Amino acid sequence: MSIKKKLGMGIATAVLGIGLIGGGTYAYFSDTAQANGSFVAGTLDLKANPSTIINLENLKPGDWMNRSFKLENGGTLDIGKILLETSYTVNDLHEDNGDDFGKHINVTFFRGENHSLLGILSAEQEVFQTTLNELQSMTLDSVINDMEGISGLKAGDSVEFFVQFEFVENNKDQNQFQGDSVKLEWTFEGHQTNGERR
């Protein structure tokens, strides 16, 4: 092969090599990975069972009655605390009331086993006592949380409460309340626990 041909082949090879380096392709190993995320909010689902705590007629001063009910957390999040708000309305049948009927209804909260079938709730079990009138001006959380020594209510759990209502006989003129009625509404409000590192 002549020198011209050898030089020509060398130049062609060099041009081809430069072309491959500059604009050509070459093979290499590769791989990919993906990271995904999702955020789903939990739920608070507080229920009172039964929803009607008391429904009595023909009460007279001195009558008392024990009732129990459960609070249930049907949600996916723990409830950190439960607040109780009270409201009531009085139907003054003869429009002759000089006093609030709610001041004559005592409400006592109890903890412990249910002895209501025997009509017994001991003083050792008593957590808190007040009148319906005073209870209306309060928002209670300590009463609820102290019932069973709990601090809130875990998801899926329930707790039972015992309440005694008494139409207090106070040796004063209570004739004004004959035929009157009280409609009571308790609102239990569950609050989440504090945020935490997850």
Q: What is the pLDDT along the chain (198 residues), one digit of tens a residue?
A: 555 555 455 555 555 455 555 555 566 887 777 777 767 777 888 888 877 777 778 889 999 888 888 888 899 999 888 888 888 889 888 888 889 999 999 998 876 555 444 455 555 566 788 999 998 888 777 555 555 555 678 899 887 778 889 999 987 788 898 899 899 888 888 888 888 888
pLDDT reported for residue 118:
45
Q: What is the phi/psi pair of residue 132, to 5°?
A: -60, -40
H-run or E-run covering 186: strand 181-192
Domains and CATH numbers, the chain: 46-192 (2.60.120)
Whether the Cβ atoms of residue 90 and residue 182 lie closer than 8 Å to each other: yes
Q: Which residues contact 187 (CB under 8 A, 6 or more apart)?
A: 84, 85, 86, 87
Give the residue carrying structure tokens 């989440």.
192
Q: What is the phi/psi pair of residue 17, to 5°?
A: -65, -45
